[in-house]
Chains A and B, each alone.
Chain A
Amino acid sequence: MSKLDLVMFEEEFKQLQDIIGRLQKDASAKVVFLVDKNGQQIASAGEVQSIDATSLASLTAGNVAATDGLAKLIGEKEFSLLFHEGEKDNLHISIVGKRGILVVIFDQGSSLALVRLRVKKASRELQEIFERVETRANEESGPGTKFESPFSEITDDDIDKLFGD
């Protein structure tokens, strides 16, 4: 496993889920997604069925990556916030820590000011959890680790099965 691997356990995942759920209610948002900078969805809350979450995660990460590239070009570290205003729905995208992206979709039932305020608070809480995950990952990658990977005995058969033969 590379040093970049993200391993998330039940308890941390539940905490993330709780924060996202609370943010969605407090900000009167339609949907909130927590996405990894590499394009994978981590958690969500609200009317998620109405949206293709996987595509959303990938495109958001692409968008943030492209914007990061733009920032570097003009000598900024990053743009920590992206806002897209639509006719009905608005998209509020912000960076959480080193690897998280928070996506909030809201309509006239909320406001940019409210979303901003609530996102700020949630971001701080999310960041704490991310840091904990990272610290643990660093400790476990050291020698004498206790963490037992469930993938220690993958066989060719397992892989053949994945491909249906």
Chain B
Amino acid sequence: MTFINYASREINCKIVYYGPGLCGKTTNIQWIHEQANPEKRGKLVSLATETDRTLFFDFLPLDMGTVKGFKVRFHLYTVPGQVFYDASRKLILRGCDGVIFVADSQRPRMEANIEAIANLATNLKDNGFDIRTIPYVLQLNKRDMPTAEKVDEMERLLRFRNEPMIEGVASQGVGVIETLKACARQILMELQRS
């Protein structure tokens, strides 16, 4: 749900990073947090367990600058990846404007990637969204791993609607901003069609 405030001339957009456990969702937004101009970023809030696994969500507010005289602010969320946190994942998708699916390139994780996309489709539907039409980006993360699956094969298994597909190494910041930008572009273009 884009919140457009004509009084303060602000647009707020909610973007959710989705994907299987340990694929690199938190790493993506940590990188964005480290790179962002301290004046433009808010505090990174992480509701995590003692072992650094996301418990409920990570949250990062980002002030991006202006479009057509409106201040654009992104609210980035990550979901907990573990299967048993499904109820929390569903809640976090509430009112989202766009989804970034972070896939783990390691070959043994393909099954988990596929399951997570199916789970995303269900949870979006329960929130009144359609995975085929919502602004959506596929990031192939951990391209640096020796066991990384071929890009072609990942595309065949995971890409389903001609969405932007971006190769990343989130721990080194590769592809992170590009991914966010691809999602932001779709969300803002969507506003035109209102």
List residues of A whose CB falls within 8 A of some B CB.
1-2, 4-10, 13-14, 36-40, 42, 52, 54-55, 58-59, 62, 65-66, 68-69, 149-154, 156, 158-159, 161-164
Known: A38-B95, A62-B47, A149-B194. A162 touches B2 (CB 8 A): no
- Inter-subunit contact A7/B185 (CB<8 Å): no
- A130 CB → nearest B CB, Å: 13
Contact A6 B189 (CB under 8 A): no
The answer to whether B181 has its CB under 8 Å from any CB of chain A is yes
Interface of chain A: mostly helix, strand, loop or mixed: mixed
Cβ-neighbour of B1 out of A2, A13, A66 (below 8 A): A2
Chain B interface residue count, CB cutoff 8 Å, equals 45
> How near does chain B come to A40, taking the closest CB pair, in angstroms?
5
Assess whether A52 is in contact with B6, with CB atoms less than 8 Å apart: no
B45 contacts A58, C-beta separation under 8 Å: yes
* Structural contact, B2 and A5, CB atoms closer than 8 A: yes
B134–chain A nearest beta-carbon distance, Å: 9
Among listed B86-94, B102-110, B160-168, interface-contacting one: B86-94
Give B19 Cβ to nearest chain A Cβ, in Å.
19
Contact B7–A14 (Cβ < 8 Å): yes
Could you list some 24 contacts between A and B, CB below 8 A? Answer: A2-B2, A5-B194, A8-B3, A36-B95, A38-B95, A40-B12, A40-B14, A52-B43, A54-B61, A59-B59, A62-B59, A62-B92, A66-B56, A66-B91, A151-B70, A151-B188, A154-B188, A154-B192, A158-B188, A159-B184, A159-B185, A162-B67, A163-B64, A163-B177
Which residue among A14, A36, A66, A163 has the maximum number of chain B CB atoms within 10 Å of its CB? A163
Q: Which residue of B lies closest to A11 (CB)?
A: B7
Q: Which residue of B lies closest to A64 (CB)?
A: B91
Q: How far is the CA of A4 from the CA of B128 in the complex (A)?
A: 10
A154 partner, pick from B1, B7, B14, B67, beta carbons under 8 A: B67
Q: A1-B2, A54-B61, A55-B43 are in contact. Are A150 and B94 (CB under 8 A)?
A: no
B65 at interface by CB-CB < 8 Å:
yes
The listed residue (B59, B65, B88, B194) touching A151 by CB distance below 8 A is B194
